[in-house]
Structure formats: C-alpha cells, structure tokens
Amino acid sequence: MRSATATIRSAALRANLAQLRRLSQGAKVVAVVKADGYGHGLERVARILSDADAFGVAAIADGQRLRAAGHQQRIIVLSGPDEAADLAELRRLRLDAVIHHESQLRWLAADRDPRPLRVWLKIDTGMHRLGFAPERVREVHERLLAMPSVDRDIVFMTHFAASDEFDNAVTAEQIARFDAATQGLPGPRCLANSAGVLGWPAARGDWVRTGGLLYGLSVVAGKSGRDLGFEPVMSLSTRLIAINRLRRGERVGYAGTWECPEDMDVGVIAIGYGDGYPRSAAPGTPVLLGGRRLPIVGRVSMDLATIDLREAPDAHVGDRVLLWGDALPVEEIAERAGTIAYDLTCGMTKRVLFVED
C-alpha cells in the first residue's frame, strides 16, 4: 500500500467553525466547500460541519452530492446557472443560485417553472469578475422581484479582491459601493470571505462566506493559519522507503540537480507530484522526521522525493515523514513552491489515502 496519507482532524474543523462564528458576531456562516472542500473531501467536511448554516459550492454537481448525503440546509451555487437548462436542476435540488449576469436574467425571465428559486444578487464592487455594476442593482432587483418563480427573499452579495491586505483602502471602497448600491433595499447582506471576517468588521453583514479559515489555511501573506487563531485541519505524511549511502560528488534525481557535498545518507520518501506534492518545491523545502526538519534535495518526481539525512543518523526505513501539518505549516511549503496553501490542499490526488482523526 502506498504510504501517502492525508489526515483530517475533525475537531480542528469544528473548532475553526466555532472561531469563525465568534468573529462573525451573529452573522450566519456559509461554509464554502467548493473544490472538494478545498481538497479535504466534500462529504467528509459537510458531515463534520453539519451544523453550518449553509454550504457554498462552485458546481451544481457538488450540490447534488450534498443533497445525496442528506444535508438539508441552503446550498449556494456561487456562480449560479451556466446555461438555461441548469435552472431545472437548481430547482430540483433546492439549490440557491447566485445571479450575476444579464444572460441569467433572460433565462429566468423565460422560465415558466413554478418552483421558487432562491437567488443571491451579486454586485461587482471592484473585483471585476462576476456581478452587476452597482448602478444596475435597483433595476435588476426589481426585475427579479417581478418574476413569479423567484423567491422574494433576495440576498445581496459582493466579493472582495484584496481583503487580506488589512490596510488596503480598496476593501473600504468596495464596502462603501456595496452600501450605496443596496441602500434602502430590503434583504440580507453577504460580503465577507475569510479575510473579510478577520480584518473588516464593517463587512460582517447577515451572512459570511468562509472557506480558507475553516480549514485552518492562512489568508494573510507571511502568516500561518495558527498565527491567525485557527487550527490546521489537514496533515500530509508518508514513509521513508529507502536510505542510500552516497559518495561525495554523486548526483541525486532527475537532471542531477543536487550533488552530495560529502559521503552521506540520502533518504527516499514515497511522495511526489502524482500525489499532489508540488514539483515546484524548491531544494531545501523542509519535511519533518522524528521531530527534525530535513531538507528535500534534488527534484521532486512523480512518486518519490529525496531528503538529506545527515541530521537524522537514527532514521529507519518505514519511519513516518510529515510533509505538512500542525508542526510544519502548509503555508511554509506553499511559499517554497511559489504558491498559496489553498493550491496545495486542493491538489491532493486520488491515490492519497484520507483518514480522519
């Protein structure tokens, strides 16, 4: 059996939801579980967080999986219908749809389905990805209210482009545009993602939509999830499967990018980019063996990586090696690989064994 194992700590997930609730001060929480629960497993995360007020997904198929697992709360499809035919599926599964574009309004207007659809009206306050321009909000809201098959309890939402930069005035401007566009209109408000909850009290609204912090992933550059008061949920580990005595001057791995500076032991661990460990991890990226940080040497390959064992003379074949987790922040590995922690947890492949503790 391959040894690459992702361990998911359910207590940490639950503690992170509780911490988000405290910070959100009464706002309801949409637990964002898109991309297979940021790589932690959609059904698993939803089961552990079954008391979340709602779930947020990027695909109708994920909504279908959550309904099949028996979850009854609201499920918001964050980009709504991609085509007119999606409307029937959204209604059948009782999914909420984010409505962000004129084309979706036309599909809705032409739709004669009597089952009420709950919609979240998305306003583009500066992200310039999805959403109606602020000056169109009143008109769009009126059109939606006039549609018999649209539920009248419409949620106003927007998304931040830089809420992780706590001193960046762009977020304050987005909040001001949102407030102006929705002023006097009845209905709940939803602005904040994880970083919005942490750094922008004015953005709390009636609902928050949080992903990263639920999983204990940092949303602030240079900090770990734990630095921000959240517990890492995933740890990735594998085993040492070979120890090789190499001589000074011998080269390790594809293209021989690393040369032994002296006679030394090099360890081989059963992890590679075929498991989702980043090929871009720079030489020197640490792993943890028996509490000691040891550097990766040479290139990460599909199934294997190699580590410098000079600081671990007592290492044995079969020892567990931690790639990231509580004692080795995934943020640090992401930084070495030129990416963010979200990218690493989302990248776990099917051959990684998932266990819960």
Ligand X SMILES: *Cc1c(COP(=O)(O)O)cnc(C)c1O
The residues assigned a catalytic role are: 34, 254
Q: Which of 71, 118, 159, 189 is the binder for ligand X (CB under 6 A)?
A: 159
307-311 contacts, C-beta under 8 A, 24 or more apart = 307/266, 307/267, 307/268, 307/269, 308/264, 308/266, 308/267, 309/243, 309/264, 309/265, 309/266, 309/267, 310/264, 310/265
Among 80, 205, 211, 216, binds ligand X (CB under 6 A): 211
Q: Using the rule CB under 6 A, which residue among 108, 137, 155, 219 binds ligand X?
A: 219
Q: Pattern of binders to ligand X over 32-51, x per CB under 6 A? A: x-x-----------------
CA-CA distances (angstroms) from residue 103 to 108, 165, 262? Answer: 9, 33, 65
Q: Whose Cβ is closer to ligand X: residue 218's or residue 306's? A: 218
State which residue, 4 or 33, has the beta carbon closest to ligand X. 33
Q: Which stretch binds ligand X (CB under 6 A): 7-15, 42-50, 206-214, 275-283?
A: 206-214
Burial 34-50 (b: 16+ CB within 10 A, else e): bbbbbbbbbbbbbebbe
Q: Does 209 bind ligand X (CB under 6 A)?
A: yes
Exactly one of 212, 253, 274, 325 binds ligand X (CB under 6 A); that residue is 212
Least CB distance to ligand X at residue 193 (A): 4
d(CA 128, CA 134): 12
The nearer residue to ligand X, 203 or 288, going by C-beta atoms, is 203
d(CA 309, CA 69) in angstroms, rounded, equals: 45
Give the C-alpha separation, 100 to 121, whole Å.
6
Stretch that binds ligand X, among 47-55, 107-115, 209-217, 308-316 (CB under 6 A): 209-217
Exactly one of 210, 218, 235, 238 binds ligand X (CB under 6 A); which one? Answer: 210
Residue nearest to ligand X (CB): 211
Q: At its nearest, how many Å lie between ligand X and the CB of residue 107?
A: 20
- Closer to ligand X by CB, 170 or 246: give it: 170
State CA 217 to chain mean position distance.
8
Who contacts 292 (Cβ-Cβ below 8 Å, separation ≥6)? 311, 312
Using CB under 6 A as the binding rule, whether residue 194 contacts ligand X is answered as yes
- Using alpha carbons, list the distances in angstroms from residue 316 to 69, 269, 271, 320: 42, 11, 17, 9
Site residues for ligand X per CB under 6 A: 32, 34, 78, 159, 193-195, 209-212, 219
